[in-house]
Amino acid sequence: MGSHYEALIRKPLIAGEKSYHDVSVDIAKPIESRANKQWWIAFSIALAMFLWGAGCIIYTISTGIGVWGLNKTVGWAWDITNFVWWIGIGHAGTLISAVLLLFRQKWRMGINRSAEAMTIFSVLQAGIFPVIHMGRPWLGYWMVPIPNAFGSVWVNFNSPLVWDVFAISTYLSVSLVFWWTGLLPDFAMIRDRAVKPFQKKIYSILSFGWTGRAKDWQRFEEVSLVLAGLATPLVLSVHTIVSYDFATSIIPGWHTTIFPPYFVAGAIFSGFAMVQTLLIVMRKVCNFQEYITVQHIELMNIVIMITGSIVGVAYMTELFIAWYSGVEYEQYAFLNRATGPYAFAYWTMMTCNVFSPQLMWFKKLRTSIMFSFFISIVVNIGMWFERFVIIVTSLHRDYLPSSWTMFSPTFVDISIFMGTIGFFFVLFLLYARTFPVIAQAEIKAILKTSGEKYKRLRDSGKSLTGTGADKRTSVINKLNK
Amino acid sequence: MKPAKIVRAFYNDDDVLLSAVKTIKENKYHIEEVYTPFHVHGLDKVLGLEPTRIAIASFIYGCIGFAFSILMMNYIMIEDWPQDIGGKPSFSYIENMPSFVPIMFELTVFFAAHLMVITFYLRSKMWPFKTAENPDPRTTDDHFLVEISVSEVTGKLKKILKDSGAIEINIVDSKEY
């Protein structure tokens, strides 16, 4: 069949002898089986971290921001570092689901669901930091332009902080509907398989009554495509606007026009690293090696390598421009980063973000699962340090040397950060047990093109017509007759 | 007159389904509905479905969002409470526009995306607590179901369906349906 043709050079994206029914069975399996001991251990650790972090948030709000390590020179530190780090991680999901959809990259289908889930969960973590930094989070609604009791006191639409509110809330909500719309056919599959009435009830609510009519699928495809077209500039705008928080200020080291593309590349870089971290574990635990193949890992490593190189070029450009500008404050800001008291953070960032991804040029390394996992952790650490370097080293030595100081985090700073990591994993672990973690309807749609079994049939010159039948479901049919 | 019977033909392969739909259409039978577990490319063309206009709707929603953002910021920043922020007075929209661009963009996307998705859900009759209407649970797994409405079931139709590769044929009253 012509519609299932694919260039011979393409390697299969779904390994093994999979039929349509196999896809349903495999993807429903983690949901239908009981959680194992490792899951409970991981979940308990994550939950404990989350609860401890939540306690520290309550402590912060009830006592005041003074419990953090901030001082009058360094007024932003771990909070905004964590905020930008989480937002950055949240960029890979939409990139995978939207940009790769526009480029018709089929390999996104094995990983898009989890990457989108990761996006939503990490943007939620990011949102915590600005809200608690307000000190009085119950007044958070003041960021919304609503007429209020104090007369015409509106938000300032010239402020990048207000742009952030709009960008992040649009990003979070659009990502959520994109994710959920894609989930509907998969929830419907779980619903129609469910034997326990309770499960059936839950999944029928979650699936919004998806029926899979031809017209629904036509609209579904169009909606996905338009959402991808909207989400692509959106994802680029979000980190651009986050970078404006710094770039529109007049602090040396922040006042940089390169920030938007540099932040966006960094965000994709860190986001892919986190997807890699999560999926390497998930493919093993949930037995998805045939859906998330070494080829998927390799392709993600290539994205990590490219975006890592862009970030490297951005670092060099920053240094060059600081020197070339002839502005001594600007020059000092960068000299201080590399040789000052925070040099350890700067060189950690350089090693993790610029040097380590270059190892991915070697095919042996980028197809090694253990190595990929290791590098993904290294990149996550490096990208955290990047934000720390940008924020703290630019602030701690300002225009007035008498106010120069150092920042050191208190246990509250550290605990809240750990708490968000715990919260993230609580959400992700719950998701991994209850949601179809691979977009099974999309996998089925590309099975005949990219499935190993079908590729072999086609390459040997056989017709694919009728090969979608599965013995197990056909036997039941005969009995019904 | 309302057709009295609904014939449900099950298929277990997408290529077989496509050719079967063609055959059924050629024999001038009316296909009421087709249920598939995934998007079968080309099915809408074979069925003769009109292209969806949801992208046009989304464009219009985006225009509304764009207009809304301009009106909102013009009212708030220029008309209701003009301020001189950092030596940059806000007395005309166009002069202050550059710093409003991010929110003009965000609201355009916000309106276009959300209203389109809501339109999709409502047009395809999907919302929480909606009961699914697929007649057989296998249509979300690996079966494809074609529903044909007829006034009476003939042997000819059965033969056409069998020959086209149907693995199961059920007949229900359209009242039931």
A45 half-sphere exposure, CB direction, 13 A CA radius: 9
Look at residue B44 and give its three-state secondary structure: helix
CA distance A350 to chain B (A): 31
Return the pLDDT at A3: 60
- A480 to chain B, any CB pair closer than 8 A? The answer is yes
Interface test with A, best of B11, B88, B92, B124 (most A CBs within 10 A): B124
- A6 to chain B, any CB pair closer than 8 A? The answer is no
Query: What is the residue type of A57?
Result: I
d(CA A334, CA A1): 60
Of B41, B73, B124, the CB nearest to A157: B73
Return the pLDDT at A480: 47
Return the pLDDT at A151: 65
pTM above 0.80, yes or no: yes
Hey, are the CB atoms on B106 and A163 less than 8 Å from each other? yes
Residue by residue, DSSP assigns A119-134 as: HHHHHHHHHHHHHHHT
Return the pLDDT at B61: 97
Hey, are the CB atoms on A241 and B128 less than 8 Å from each other? no
Q: What is the torsional sign of CA B35, B40, B41, B42?
A: negative
- A219 to chain B, any CB pair closer than 8 A? The answer is yes
d(CA A354, CA A343): 16
Residue by residue, DSSP assigns A199-242 as: HHHHHHHHTTT---BHHHHHHHHHHHHHHHHHHHHHHHHHHHHH
Return the pLDDT at A149: 66
Of the candidates A192, A167, A166, A222, the one whose C-alpha atom is nearest the C-alpha of residue A436 is A192
Of A24, A464, A473, the CB nearest to B15: A464
Of the candidates A275, A311, A306, the one whose C-alpha atom is nearest the C-alpha of residue A292 is A275
* A205 interaction partners in chain B (CB closer than 8 Å): 128-129
Residue with tokens 């986190």: A274
Q: What is the torsional sign of CA B71, B76, B80, B81?
A: negative
C-alpha distances in Å from residue A157, one per residue of A99, A394, B73, B102: 29, 26, 7, 9
- Which residues 77-96 of chain B have a CB within 8 Å of chain A? 77, 80-81, 83, 85, 88, 90, 96
Return the pLDDT at B90: 78
Cα distance between the two ends of chain A: 30
Give the tens place of pLDDT for each residue, B126-141: 999 898 888 888 899 9
Phi–psi pair at B34, nearest 5 degrees: -125, 130
Return the pLDDT at B3: 58
| Interface predicted TM-score of the whole assembly (ipTM), two decimals | 0.93
Return the pLDDT at A481: 44
The Cβ of residue A130 has, within 10 Å, a number of other Cβ atoms equal to 19
d(CA A445, CA A326): 58
B144 forms bridges with which residues in the sheet? B11
Q: What is the torsional sign of CA A450, A451, A452, A456?
A: negative
Hey, are the CB atoms on A157 and B76 less than 8 Å from each other? yes
> Taking a C-beta distance cutoff of 8 angstroms, is the pair B5, B149 a contact?
yes
Compare all CA atoms of chain A with the CA of B111 and give the residue at the minimum distance.
A170
Return the pLDDT at B86: 78
- Which residues 240-299 of chain A have a CB within 8 Å of chain B? 241, 244
Q: What is the pLDDT along chain A (481 residues), one digit of tens a residue?
A: 446 777 778 888 888 888 899 999 999 999 988 888 989 999 999 999 999 999 999 999 999 999 999 999 999 999 999 999 999 999 888 888 888 889 888 888 889 999 999 999 999 999 999 999 998 999 888 888 887 766 678 888 988 999 999 999 999 999 999 999 999 999 999 999 999 999 999 999 999 999 999 999 999 999 999 999 999 999 999 999 999 999 998 889 998 899 999 999 999 999 999 999 999 999 888 889 999 999 999 999 999 999 999 999 999 999 999 999 999 999 999 999 999 999 999 999 999 999 999 999 999 999 999 999 999 999 999 999 999 999 999 999 988 899 999 999 999 999 999 999 999 999 999 999 999 999 999 999 999 888 888 888 888 888 888 788 887 777 555 444 4
Q: Tokens representing B152? A: 């009476």
Return the pLDDT at A479: 45
Task: Kindly give the interhelix angle for A259-285 and A294-325, rounded to the nearest 10 degrees.
Answer: 160
* A1 interaction partners in chain B (CB closer than 8 Å): 15
- Which residues 16-75 of chain B have a CB within 8 Å of chain A? 16, 19, 33-44, 47, 49, 51-52, 54-55, 58, 62, 72-73
Q: Is the pLDDT of residue B177 over 70?
A: no
**Buried b or exposed e, range A141-171, using 16+ CB within 10 angstroms:** eebebeeeeeeeebbebbebebbbbbbbbbb
* A160 interaction partners in chain B (CB closer than 8 Å): 102
- Which residues 136-155 of chain B have a CB within 8 Å of chain A? 137-143
Hey, are the CB atoms on B55 and A465 less than 8 Å from each other? no
* B33 interaction partners in chain A (CB closer than 8 Å): 213-214
CA distance A366 to chain B (A): 33
Give the tens place of pLDDT for each residue, B33-85: 999 999 999 899 999 999 999 999 999 999 999 999 999 999 998 998 888 88
Of A188, A223, A441, the CB nearest to B54: A223
CA distance B74 to chain A (A): 10
d(CA A434, CA B81): 50
Compare all CA atoms of chain B with the CA of A444 and give the residue at the minimum distance.
B38
Hey, are the CB atoms on B43 and A214 less than 8 Å from each other? yes
d(CA A64, CA A192): 51
d(CA B129, CA B107): 30
Phi–psi pair at B64, nearest 5 degrees: -65, -45
Of B72, B88, B138, the CB nearest to A145: B72
d(CA B148, CA A416): 60
